[in-house]
């Protein structure tokens, strides 16, 4: 199960699409039985999280909090398969989308993929580019699939 929590009111969030994308990422990287949570917030809360956990007193677009880093194996089995939480700031994501000339939805998809890979143990700062290669591959493959699905839905109307 993928849980999508919306704790902001600036942007509409298509929870089903976010959950489907997250599930597809986990399936593609061999984590079919694992779960995660995606949380959407505003910059004020993201700034607090970034300050408290990374020592950087400004908002960022995405933070990943891996559950397995502090996993207590006496936890119930259902929780043992939970990778952790991906937290996304809709304000920073929107600003980056504008800056990069992308749609807001495409930037959110990028952040969901990026965050899920971090939870699964990938680290672009230490893996000689492996995470970024995988991220590009997944983005290309999964976003193409979603465009195809959208075209199919549009034809049925």
Q: What is the pLDDT of residues 18-57, one digit of tens each?
A: 999 999 999 999 999 999 999 999 999 999 999 999 999 9
Domain enclosing residue 81, as ranges: 2-156
Of the candidates 12, 3, 26, the one whose C-alpha atom is nearest the C-alpha of residue 142 is 26
**Residues 6 or more apart whose Cβ sits within 8 Å of residue 72:** none
CATH number, residue 73: 3.40.390.30
Q: At what angle do helices 15-28 and 104-119 cross, to 10 degrees?
A: 40
Terminal CA-CA length for the chain = 30
**Residues 6 or more apart whose Cβ sits within 8 Å of residue 81:** 33, 34, 35
Give pTM, 2 decimals: 0.86
HSE, side-chain direction, 13 A CA sphere, residue 105: 10
Q: Is the pLDDT of residue 114 over 60?
A: yes
φ/ψ (deg, to 5) at 61? -80, -40
Mean pLDDT (the chain, rounded): 88
* Domain count within the chain: 1
Torsion of CA 40, 44, 46, 51, to 10 degrees: -170
Q: What is the mean pLDDT of residues 56-74?
A: 79
Q: What percent of the chain has pLDDT over 90?
A: 74
């Amino acid at each position: 199960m993928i849980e999508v929590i919306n704790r902001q009111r600036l942007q509409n969030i298509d929870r089903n699409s976010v959950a489907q994308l997250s599930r597809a990422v986990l399936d593609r990287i061999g984590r079919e039985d694992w779960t995660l949570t995606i949380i959407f917030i505003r910059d004020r809360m993201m700034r607090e999280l970034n300050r408290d956990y990374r020592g950087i007193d400004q908002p960022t677009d995405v933070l990943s909090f891996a559950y397995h880093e502090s996993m207590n194996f006496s936890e119930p089995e259902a929780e043992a398969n939970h990778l952790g939480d991906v937290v996304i700031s809709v304000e920073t994501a929107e600003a980056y989308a504008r800056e990069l000339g992308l749609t807001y939805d495409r930037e959110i998809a990028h952040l969901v993929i990026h965050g899920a890979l971090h939870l699964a143990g990938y680290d672009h700062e230490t893996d000689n580019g492996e995470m970024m290669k995988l991220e590009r591959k997944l983005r290309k493959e999964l976003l193409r699939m979603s465009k195809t699905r959208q075209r199919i839905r549009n034809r049925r109307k």
